[in-house]
Structure 1
Amino acid sequence: MFNFVKQFHTQDDGAITVDWVVLTAAIIGLALAIIATIGAGAIDHSNSVGNRLTSQEILEY
Structure 2
Amino acid sequence: MIKFFKNFRKDESGAVTVDWVVLTAAVAALAGVVYTSIESGASDLTAATGSYLGTKGPTD
- The two structures, once aligned, show a CA RMSD in angstroms of 0.9
Q: How many residues of Structure 1 are paired with residues of Structure 2 in the alignment?
A: 59
Scaled by the length of structure 1, the TM-score of the pair is 0.88
Gaps of 5+ in 1: none
Question: Counterpart of 1:51?
Answer: 51
Gaps of 5+ in 2: none
1:6 paired with 2:3, answer no
Letter in 2 for 1:7: N
Letter in 2 for 1:50: G
Give aligned-pair identity as a percent: 41
Scaled by the length of structure 2, the TM-score of the pair is 0.89
Taking the aligned partners of 2:14 and 2:3, their CA distance within structure 1 comes to 20
Q: CA deviation at 1:51?
A: 1.0
Taking the aligned partners of 1:50 and 1:5, their CA distance within structure 2 comes to 67
